[in-house]
Structure 1
Amino acid sequence: MNAKMDEIIERAVIANRLDTITKEMGYALERSSRSPIFAEACDFACGICNGAGDLVSQINGIPILAAAGTFSVQEVIRKYSGQIEEGDVFILNDPYQGGNHLPDIGIITPSVVEGEVLFYCVSRAHHGDIGGSVAGSYNAKATEIFQEGLRIPPIKLVSKGQVIIEVMDLILQNVRNPQMLQNDLWAQMGANNIGLARLRELVGHYSVARIKGTVTYLLDHAESLTRSAIKRLPDGAYTAEEWVDDDGFQEKPIRIRVTVTINGEEMTLDFQGTDPQVQGFVNSALVTSTTAAWIGALWALGSDIPRNSGAFRAIKVCLPEGSLLNPRDPAPVTLSTLTPASEIISAIFQALDPIAGGCLPAGFGRYCGPSFYGIDPRNQGFYVGFAFCALGSGGGISGRDGYPYMAPLSNYGGVRAPNIEANEIQYPHLTLCHELEMDTAGSGMWRGGPGVRYSLKFYGEPTNIVMFGDGMKIPPFGTSSGQPGSLNCAELSMPDGQTLTLASKESARTLPEGTVLTVVSSGGGGWGDPRQRDPERVWQDVLNGLISPAKARQEYGVVFTEEGVDWAVTKELRYYQTGWNNPLDLG
C-alpha cells in the first residue's frame, strides 16, 4: 500500500513539475521579449511534448496556439527523424506543415538525454510582421498564402548550439522590423532553454525510465477521463451550424456545419456540410481547425481533463478536404486563428448545448481589427500595432454573466488588453475613449458581457490601417431563450468632418493626420430568459450604465422608480409579457 501511494505521489509531483516548467517558460518569454504583442498582449503559448511529439503539458496562454504545438513537433520529427541532436533548434510557421498561420512562429528545442530525445520544449508566438504585401501580415485581400508573408517550413535554425546565420538572415530580410523579430526569436529560444534546464534537473532527480513511465500514465489518464466524460453523455448525433460574415470578396455568409456523434466512449466531430474553401483569408488549415475542434469538445467535457494529447485520442475530427476548414494549399488563412476558429468552437457549443447540462456559454464577440502601421514622427521608426483595446465580450452561462473585454472565443481571455498609456508611448496616437458600451450585452437570465467603445486619434503621417475580423453581420448567439449580443462596428472621423463606416475586411487605407478611429465591439450573447433575471441585478446594471431603462423594461420586464425596482409594476409587466407567473418571488 505504501509503495502504491509513493507511486501516486511521485506521479503528481512530476506532473506538477512539468506544468510549472511551462509556466516558467511563459514568464520568461513575457519578460524578455521586445514587441508589445509579446510583452503586453501575451499572444503566445508554451508547452512540452514527449519524444513522440505528444503534448504533455501546456501553459494557460492562447488555447488555439497551445494545443497546436503537437503538430509542429510531429512535423519536425517527420522531416528530421534520426538527425535531431542536442543543441538543435527548429523553426516553422507554415500552416500547411504544422503551423497555425504565418505570424505564429514556432520554436522547437529537443531535450536529448542519454542519446534519446526525451522531450521537446515548444514556444509558439504571434509576431507583429512576417512580411507579405501588407505590414502586420493581415492582408484582407490576399487570395493566396504567398501574399500573406514568409513561409517557413520545419527547418533547423540552430545546429549543435550554433545559429545557422544564413537561415536567420533569410527570415530577417523578409520582414519589415527585423531587429524586433530577431529579439523576439531570441526570447522564444531563451524560454525554451529555461525549459531544457528545468527538465535536466527533473531527469537528474528521477530516472529516465520513471519519467517516461509517468508521462505515459499522464497521457493514458487524460484519455481515460475523456472517455468517461463522453460516456456520461447520451449517445446520438447532434448537429449545429455557425456562420462567418463573409470572406471580404463575396457578400454571402459562409456556413460551418458540425455533427457531433456520441458513441459510447468516443466522440466524432464531423464537419461535412461546411462550405467549400473561399477566395479570402478566412480559410482555416487542418492544424487550426483540428485544434479549435478539440477546444470546443473538451470545454463541453469538463475542466478536470488535462489538456494533453491523451485527451485528444477519444475525439475524432473529420474535416472535408477542400472545405473552408481544410483548404488546399495555397489558400490564404491568416484570419483563421480568430475567424473561423472561434466559430468552429461556437458550432460545437450549439450542437452539444442540449445535452451539456448548462455548462456551455452563449456566443462570444468576434474580433474585429484594425491593425495600423506607419512611421512614428517622434523617432522616425517603423511601427505595427493592433487594436487589442477593442476586444469584445463573452457570453453568459448558467449562474454567471458573461465576462467583459475578453473575446474572441479561440483565445478565451489569453490575449491581454495593453495598458492605454503604454500604447500611447509605443504608437503615435492618443486614446480619446475606452469604456463599456450601454445596451450591447445580450439580454438573458445571465446576460452577456457588454461591448467596448474605443476611440483613438492618429497623429502620425502617414498612418495606414487594415481592417480584419468578423461579426459585423452575425451577432454572438443567445442560448436557452437568451438574446443575441450586439454587432461589431467601426468608423473613421476624418479631419474634414467626413465619417466613413468600415467593413470588417478591408485592404490598407492611408489616413491623414488627425483621423479618429472608433470601434464598438460586440457584447456577448445572453443565457436564459431575460424575464427570469433577478430585477435587482437589472437595477444594478442600469445604475452602472450597462443597460438603459428602456431596454430593462422592454427585454427584462423590469420598471424602476427613483429608489429602485418598482416591484408591483414589474410583476404585472412580466406577467403581461409572458402570460405566466414569473418563478422569482417579486413580493
Structure 2
Amino acid sequence: MIDPVTLAVIQAGLQQVCDEMDLTFSRAAFSPVIAEADDRSDGIYSAEDGSLIAQGSKGLPVFVGVMQFSTRTLVERIRAGITAAPEPGDIYIVNDPYLGGTHLMDVRFAMPVWRQGRIWCWLSNTGHWPDTGGMVPGGFSASAISAEQEGLRLPPVKLFKKGQLDAEIWAIIQSNIRVADQRIGDVKAQASALMVGAERLGQLLDRYGDDTVTEAVARMRDLAARQMRAMIGLIPVGSYQATAFIDSDGVVNEPLTIALTVTRRGDGLTFDFAGSSPPCMGPMNSVRATTLSSVYLAMRHIFPDVPISAGAFEPLNVTGIEGTFLDAQYPRPVSGCAAEVSQRIAEAVFAALVQAIPDRVTAAPAGTSGNFGLGGNDPETGSGYVMYQISGGGYGGFAGGDGIANGCSTIGISKAPPVEIMEQKYPVLYRRYALHEGSGGAGQFRGGMGLDYEIELLRGTARASFVMDHGRTGPQGALGGQDGAVNRVEIHQGGRVVIPEHLSKAQDIVLQPGDRVRVRTPGGGGYGDPAARDPARVAEDVALGRYTADEAAHLWPR
C-alpha cells in the first residue's frame, strides 16, 4: 500500500512532467498563438483506455477531456488494426474532429512511452495551428457547410516513424495548408515537448519503480472521483434548468438553443441537453468529445480543488445530445465548436448550478474566444502570412466580488498575444487596445469589462474572417444581475462602417491598406440585485471611467 507522502510526491511529479512539456512547447513554437498565447496543452494518458492521468496546470482545460477521447480512439483503432501499431520513436498526428477532437486547427500529437518492451502510457499534446487549409486563412470559416470546406482532416497517422519525420506525410500536409514553410517550427516544438515529457517521466519511473507509480495513478483516480462526489454533495438534491444561446450558425441567421437540466441524485450529476437545437448548417456544431469536455471544464471552474484526473469525471453523466447540434456527425462543419459552442455549454452549466450553490458559481463570463483570422501577402517581405487574434472578455460577478476585466476565455488560460509581437510579425497597426468601458453587467457585484481593440491593415491586401459569439445577447446575469454587454464588430472601409449581417460572424472580408477592424468583446454578467450594490463601489467605477455618471445612474438608480 503506497503511503500518503509518496502518493503526493508522485502526483506532483506527474504534474511537473506535464508542466515541463507545456513550457517546452511554448518556448520552442514558431507561431504566436502557441509561443505567446499558450493555445496548447500536454498530458499523460492511460495505455489501457486513454483515460487522463495528469495534465499541465497551464494547459487549456477544454483539452483535458478532448485528449482523453482522442487517445482512447487511437488505442481502439490500433487494437482493431485500423491504425498501424506503434514502435519506439513513433509519434502520431491527428486533427479529425469526429475522432475525439475539437476543430481542425487543434492538431494533436500522441506518443507511447515504452517500459520493458510494453507501452506504459501515452503522452499527448494539442497545439492550435494558425492554418490547416480550407476556405479562409486561419480556418475559421463562418459560412462553411461541410467539413471539407474547413481544411485538411487527418486521421491518426504516424508523422514520426522511429524518431524520423515521415517526409511523405509531411509533404501532404504542406501541400494543403497556407504558409506551410512556417509550420515545421511548430511541428518540431510539439514533438520536442513529448520527448521532454518521456525523458522526465522515465526519470520518475526509475526513481519510484513502475509498479509504485502505477499504484499511485490508480489511487489518484479513485481519490479524484471521491473528491468530486464530495463536492457534488454540496448541491441540494433536485433538478435545475438553464438555457444558453448561440447568435447564429453563420449561415442561417437564427439563434441556436442549448437547453440544459442538471439533476443531482445520490453522489452523481446528470447533465441532460434534450431539447437543444438540431444539427445546424453552419460551423457551430459541436462534436461529442468537445461537448463532454465542456461540461467537465465547467465543473472544474466550480470545484477547482478537485485534482485533474479521469476519476473527477466519473460522477458526471451527460445525456440528451443525440440528434442535436451538440453531437455533430461527419460532414457537419465544426470550426466554432471548441472556441465558441463549448463556452455556451459552460455558461448553461453555470446558469443552472448558480441556483443551487450560489456561493460557488459566478454569473456568465464573456464566453467567446473572439476568433479573428487575417491572411494575405506582405509586399514588404514578399511572404504570405496568417494572423490569428484571440481576445479576452469580462468575467461574471460572484458572491463577494466583481468580475475580472479582460480575462481569458472560459475554456482555457490562453491569452491574447502581445500587441508588439503581432505588429512585428504582421503588416498591421493596433490603433486601440483598451477596456470595453461600461460593458460589465450591473449587479450587487458587477461583471468585468471586455476588451476594445482596433487593427489597421498597413500594406497589401488581406482577407478577414470572424467566428465569435454573444453579438445578439450578452453573457447572462445571475440572481437578479443584468447581462453583460454584447460583442460588437465593425469594419471601417473607405469612410463606411460595416456591421456583419450575423453580428459576430463573417468571412472573406477584403481589406485594403488603411482599412480597420474594431472589436469590442462582451463584459461579464452581473451577480445579485443591482440595488444592493455599495454606493462607494459605484462611485469608484465612475471615478475610474468604467462607467459614465449617466450610465451608473441608470444601472444603479438610487
TM tier relative to shorter chain: over 0.9
Kindly indicate whether structure 1 or structure 2 has the higher relative contact order, using CA contacts under 8 Å at least 6 residues apart. Answer: 2
Q: Percent identity?
A: 31
Select which of 44, 49, 55 maps to 1:58: 55
Within 5 Å, give how 1:363-374 maps onto structure 2: 363-365=364-366, 366-374=368-376
Aligned-residue offset at 1:407: 4.3
Deviation at 1:40, TM superposition (A): 0.8
Q: Distance in 1 between matches of 2:211 and 2:158?
A: 29
TM-score (normalizing by structure 2) = 0.96
1:446 aligns with 2:448: no
| SS of alignment partner, residue 336 of structure 2 | helix
Residues 142-196 of structure 1, C-alpha deviations (whole Å, 9 max, x = no match) = 1010110111111222222233222122112111121222220110110000000
* Aligned-partner Cα distance in 1 for 2:447–2:291: 26
CA distance in 2, matches of 1:248, 1:20: 41
- Is 1:152 the counterpart of 2:154 in the alignment? yes
Q: Tell me the distance in 2 between the aligned counterparts of 1:328 and 1:419.
A: 37
Q: Displacement, 1:274?
A: 0.7
User: For the residues of structure 1 that align with 2:38 and 2:458, how far apart are their CA atoms?
Assistant: 27
In the alignment, is residue 499 of structure 1 matched against residue 501 of structure 2?
A: no
Partners of 1:547 and 1:20 in 2: CA distance: 43
Supply the AA of the counterpart residue of 1:215.
Answer: V
Residue 460 (structure 2) aligns with: 461
Question: Which residue is 2:310 aligned to?
Answer: 309
- Kindly state the Cα deviation for residue 531 of structure 1 after the two structures are TM-superposed: 2.1
Give the structure 1 partner of residue 141 of structure 2.
Answer: 139
What is the one-letter code of the residue matched to 2:55? Q
2:341 alignment partner in structure 1: 340
Q: In terms of Rg, which structure is larger?
A: 1
Residue correspondence of structure 1 range 258-277 to structure 2 within 5 A: 258-277=260-279
SS in 2 for 1:200: helix
SS in 1 for 2:479: coil
1:145, 1:551 → 2: CA distance?
A: 45
CA offsets, 1:312-361, max 9 Å, x none? 11111124323110022110001111221101011111111111132111
- Secondary structure of the residue aligned to 1:340 is helix
1:71 alignment partner in structure 2: 69
How many residues get paired?
549
CA distance in 1, matches of 2:498, 2:408: 25
Q: 2:3 aligns with which of 3, 7, 12?
A: 7
Code of the aligned partner of 2:544 = N
1:234-254 deviation digits (Å, cap 9, x = unpaired): 222222111111111222211
In structure 2, give the amino acid aligned to 1:222: A
Corresponding position of 1:29: 25
Residues 320-335 of structure 1: pairs in structure 2 closer than 5 A? 320-335=321-336
* Letter in structure 2 aligned against 1:55: L
- Following the alignment from structure 1 to structure 2, what is the Cα–Cα distance between the partners of residues 448 and 21? 36
Aligned to 1:481: 480
In the alignment, what sits opposite 2:469?
Answer: 470
In 2: Cα distance, 1:521 partner to 1:357 partner: 26
**Deviation string for 1:411-440 (max 9, x for gaps)?**
3xx111221122111111111111113211
In structure 2, distance between residues paired with 1:251 and 1:191: 42
Instruction: Indicate if the aligned counterparts of 1:219 and 1:308 stay in contact, CA closer than 8 A.
Output: yes
Residue 443 of structure 1 contacts residue 526 of structure 1 at CA under 8 Å; is this kept in 2? yes
Quote the residue 1:101 is aligned against: 103
The residue type equivalent to 1:347 in the other structure is A
State the secondary structure of the residue aligned to 1:370: strand
Aligned twin of 1:349? 350
- Give a deviation string over 1:79-130, Cα, whole Å, max 9, x none: 1138233211111110111211100000111111012211211110110000
| Alignment partner, residue 116 of structure 1 | 118
Q: 2:113 & 2:331 partners in 1: Cα distance? A: 33
Contact 2:137 2:463 in 1 (8 A): no
Equivalent residue, structure 1, for 2:383: 381
Which portions of structure 1, spanning 4 or more consecutive aligned residues, are displaced by more than 6 angstroms?
none
CA distance in 2, matches of 1:86, 1:77: 15
Q: Partner letter of residue 73 of structure 1? A: T
Taking structure 1 as reference, are residues 204 and 367 closer, same or farther at Cα in structure 2, changes over 3 Å only? closer
